[in-house]
Structure 1
Amino acid sequence: DRQSSIIMAASSTAVGSNQPWLLGSPITKLIVISTIITFVIAESSKAHSEIAFDSNAIVYHGEIYRLITGNITYASTGELIIGLLSGVSILRRFEREFGSRKFVCFIFTVWFLGTMGVIVVAQLAMDDEDGGVWYSGPYLLFGACFWLFHQYTPRLHPHFFGITGFYFSEKSILYCFLMQAGAYRGWNTIIPTTCGAAAACIYTNTKLHRTVDMPNSIANIMASFGERFLVDAPPGVMAPRPGGGGRGAAAGRAGPRQRQQQQQQAVPRAQPQQQQQQRYEAFPPPPEASVEQLTNMGFEREAVLRALRESHNNLERAADRLLTGG
């Protein structure tokens, strides 16, 4: 079960280059939009200190609203840029894996467990003279994404680059960005990032990922809102229609040959098996090193060979096919 869950969590949904980058991840889009808009408002009104997460203000002055506002946007332009560059791609990917409904439950669980952890650490490990824990930004969610990326993203190239005899995988590059963003303000951001990672670890390794769910009424409201404002419509094909004006009318006046060409362009025909086999034979056989690397991940040799042939011996695309069951 654990291996199947890891493979399922590590799979990625292929999105065409002509489609929106955040297609299939409306919650991630909402997070990005709210983070940027809130940053602009807070920056223009100089209100970062009033909305930031401040453990002393929460505990001693009862400013409970900071539990929410402190996790929405960043306090500086540098944090905003680094956080979005390093975190959005991970958020997008794992929302597609979880599904938006389950992803919302994951975010809520991380926020609840993470904030409680930050307050406990601030009260036990930091003196009042230190000023408690002060940060502004979705560092709890950032740490949770760090854990998901570390735990469920396979290494496709273990020897991606080397330094003085030590080799690193392609994941090391994103690790550097994640650690830079998580430690931007020292302990004030390291603590919430660590608590977010711990909350994600608890969520994925306990029964919380099966038991935590939102009421259907709230899910229906969110689905209606998402379909109206957040979900990108799939790329449409201009179909002939009677009457009207514009391009639709022009398509309706097209002749039989033009309509046939439009239909052929809109719905590509599947290639016969004989042509597909000839296409495979035009490429060299899969490298044994690639076959061995993918079989070491737990896949059958025949499936690995088929995926490599269909991917033209591209290791990353073959791994994506195997993980998604394509």
Structure 2
Amino acid sequence: MPTLVQFGAGNIGRGFIAPTFAAAGWRIVFVDVSPVLVEGLRARGGYRVRLVDNSGERVTEVRGVAIIDGRDQTAVAAAVAACDLAATAVGLNVLPRLGAPLAAGIRTRTAPLDILVCENGAQAHEQLRAAILAADGALDGRFGCVRTSIGRMIPPPGPGEDPLDIRVEPYAKLPVERAAFRAAIPQVPGLVAKDDFDLVLAQKLYLHNLTHACLAYGGHLRGYATIPDCMADDGLVARVRAVTVAVAAAFGRRHGGSAEADSLAIADDLLGRYRNRALADPVARVARDPWRKLAADDRLVGAARL
């Protein structure tokens, strides 16, 4: 049974990456420092993933997982040395701290290690690579930092919910950068290797993040509380759909091939997923931090400059 070492047992790690690989027959070893997660997962050896949409809820269980306290760097390095693949979902502030334990594990391996970098930052893969090489510069070429694009929407836990359970939407596609792998790409359902990964990341920013923001700002002006409320306004949805048509055309001019058609398909899928009332994504959450979102290369102004 192949093993995935998942750094970070939060929303993305526990709610997306681990279930994707566990469903394909992989053993999951989490690395985290949260006492609630470390003690809970160690005691239970698993948790429930609740797939929610407008038709109801379907519960799946991720069983047979292990967890290592991230402060035990010797144990972390041993897990890295023995695993088949690693992934990170820890946040950009924590990412540099993974350099030393990853380097210690990679140093003793005979095969290269690929690391799926599942972080919210365009340069996260370079940041992680630099942290590993800062710990041991002789490891260059012995690992791959693989860019990913995280599209699954995961709502915050409700009051009184089991801290190990996690609610997620059914969408489970994980694009990964084909050229970044040093070893064979795992054959895992939902894992989609892409050649033009700059396009993949642009689609995430200028389709997913942009349409989410447009709905939130338009919905705020109309007094709506959630993104599904916004989707009930046909006029607002039509204006957002028109934005996606313009963005898709820009991608077609810049990237050629099927970029325009693929982008329109992604946009239509998103506009369907935004109707998921089980997510109840608040307009206030999606609209927050407008100064960052108005940066020249971010979702709003950046899309206008395509």
TM-score, structure 1 normalization? 0.27
The structure with the greater share of residues assigned to strand is: 2
TM-score by length of 2: 0.28
Q: Highest CA radius of gyration, 1 or 2?
A: 1
- More helix, by proportion: 1
